[in-house]
Amino acid sequence: MADAMIDDVRLAPDELETAGIRTVIVATPDLQGRLVGRRIPVEGFGRVVANGVDICTCAWAWDIDQGLELIDANKFAVCGMHNGVPDVTLIPDLETLRPAAWLDGVAICLADPVDVHTKEPLPLSPRVILKQELARIREAGLTPQVGTELEFYLFRNDPRELRKSGFRDLDPTTLTPSDFMIHEGNLYEPFFQKLRADLRASGIIVEAAQSEWGLGQWEMTFTYGDPLEMADRHALYKLAVRDTAARAGMSATFMARPLNDQPGSSCHVHVSFLDHDGTEAFWDADDPEHLSPRMRSAIAGALEHAPAFMAWYAPTVNAYRRSNSADVAGNGRTWGFDNRTTTVRVVGHTPSALRFEFRLPGADTNPYFTLTGVLASARDGMAQGTALGDAVRGSAYDLPNDGAMPTDPRRAAELFAASRLVRELLTPDLISHQQVLLEHEWTTFMSRVTDWDLHRYFDRI
């Protein structure tokens, strides 16, 4: 049903002008999962379909603030002063061409970057990396199915004024904890109803939405499906939320933890696999808990490799404000049945519904990288027959911490570079590239004096 609805909104290049499209955005994810690209007048899109459109490789080399220090210092093979900061060509994936219905007269087409001369895919591209993992899974005779649940905070502050004020005096859209509460959602139903309608018209099907416990916190979940389509929807959804909020004079943030005294925002990932014949690989009718050996090994793989992939699951300093907390934000290498205190939560009671929920990633994660990490870990666990330990009964926070998980980006970068599975997925250049960015994030943070420093030390030391 959901796939049919997506097919219904997809556009062909020769349908654009008839559909009232005046601009086509050609975009691809950067290393933070943000969409970068160019706007093409509709009459020029045919040229882009034939030849692609060039953008600078700096989009994959600068940090989240578009700082140029690492490029100037020639830290990366792909982009630096040593090679003239070259271009790559974005090749539109016409299967993704759809209306950006929250924008007037605009369509959007996701694209993959390729070398200008050789036409080989850019190895750094998060979309390319996810595609490569999906090919490995298909070679193993499996079809992955995933869903993401994404939380965010919404404030009644104009985004331009908020940045100019230094993000002071945040005015959250809810003033009391409102998890699952209907009355708080009713107040903002006109805003969310329009957002959901625009998303639906863009082929992004919202399964459910709710107010959350945090003040001003909201959540939307998407229909289960193909991982590449899910990552594309996720990236487009974040764009639509920000744009729609800004037009309403409000500000949305996908920071993992934007407020000191409120819970973090997550990106829970739900995972299952179909076998080559279309049957559910995770279901075992003869097992008392219906978990097949492959499901147990998939969970074990996800947990075994979680420390290394925290580089992707928690890519910012702020992400560790969430993951280091006890706010049911994933908890070490633990799993349980319908247990929100663990990192992996097994849910579902029928063959088609049985799946595991991976709870470590925050809302600031790059969905292409996170899905690659979770799926590769599960695939490796199944291939290796990795043994799964006992399920946690009760609170996982009562158990001793095994110390395996990194608590800051610098340590995450070390574990990422040392991982056997990461080295199987990525070349040394790609590993080094991401390690440099993570270490830069940490050293940049540590070089700044914050409000916390002033309040704690200024007149007390």
CA dist., res. 202 & res. 320, Å (int): 33
383 CA to centre of own chain: 25
Residues 177 and 308 placed together within one structural domain of the fold? yes
CA dist., res. 433 & res. 430, Å (int): 5
Residues 91 and 175 placed together within one structural domain of the fold? no
Residues 76 and 182 placed together within one structural domain of the fold? no
Cβ neighbours, 10 Å, residue 266: 25
Report yes or no: 438 and 410 within 8 Å, Cβ to Cβ: yes
Has residue 41 been placed in a domain? yes
Has residue 432 been placed in a domain? no
**279 lies in which domain range?**
133-406
Residues 99 and 241 placed together within one structural domain of the fold? no
Has residue 156 been placed in a domain? yes
What's the pLDDT score for residue 23?
Answer: 98
What's the pLDDT score for residue 3?
Answer: 55
Residues 72 and 100 placed together within one structural domain of the fold? yes
313: which 2 tokens?
């699951």
Report yes or no: 167 and 252 within 8 Å, Cβ to Cβ: no
What's the pLDDT score for residue 307?
Answer: 98
- Residue whose tokens read 């899910």: 230
pLDDT beneath 50, residues of the chain: 1-2
Has residue 415 been placed in a domain? no
What's the pLDDT score for residue 2?
Answer: 45
Residues 30 and 173 placed together within one structural domain of the fold? no
Provide the domain count of the chain. 2
What's the pLDDT score for residue 181?
Answer: 87
Instruction: Write the DSSP symbol of residue 350.
Output: S
Instruction: Write the DSSP symbol of residue 383.
Output: H
Report yes or no: 203 and 5 within 8 Å, Cβ to Cβ: yes
Residues 260 and 152 placed together within one structural domain of the fold? yes
Has residue 446 been placed in a domain? no
Pairing of β 53-56 and β 87-92: antiparallel
Query: What is the sign, positive or negative, of the torsion defined by CA atoms of 309, 311, 315, 319?
Result: positive
Instruction: Using alpha carbons, select from 405, 420, 432 the residue that is nearest to residue 123.
Output: 432
Has residue 454 been placed in a domain? no
CA dist., res. 434 & res. 301, Å (int): 22
- Among residues 92, 121, 150, which one ends one of the domains? 121
What's the pLDDT score for residue 86?
Answer: 96
DSSP 104-138: TTEEEEEEEEEETTT--B-TT-HHHHHHHHHHHHH
Residues 289 and 230 placed together within one structural domain of the fold? yes
Please tell me the pTM assigned to this model: 0.96
CATH value at residue 18: 3.10.20.70
Residues 387 and 256 placed together within one structural domain of the fold? yes
- Among residues 69, 96, 121, which one ends one of the domains? 121
Main-chain dihedrals φ then ψ at residue 56, nearest 5 degrees: -80, 140
- Among residues 87, 121, 155, which one ends one of the domains? 121
Q: b or e along 350-362 (b: 16 or more beta carbons within 10 Å of the residue's beta carbon)?
A: eeeebbbbbbbbb
Total residues belonging to the chain: 461
Residues 163 and 87 placed together within one structural domain of the fold? no
Instruction: Using alpha carbons, select from 360, 371, 402 the residue that is nearest to residue 264.
Output: 360
Has residue 412 been placed in a domain? no
- Which residues are 90's β-sheet partners? 53, 113
CA dist., res. 404 & res. 306, Å (int): 9
Residues 337 and 190 placed together within one structural domain of the fold? yes
At residue 202, the 3 state secondary structure works out as coil
Report yes or no: 130 and 368 within 8 Å, Cβ to Cβ: yes
Q: What is the pLDDT of residues 30-78, one digit of tens each?
A: 999 999 999 999 999 999 999 999 999 999 999 999 999 999 999 999 9
Has residue 24 been placed in a domain? yes
CATH value at residue 182: 3.30.590.10
Residues 66 and 188 placed together within one structural domain of the fold? no
Looking at residue 455, its amino acid is H
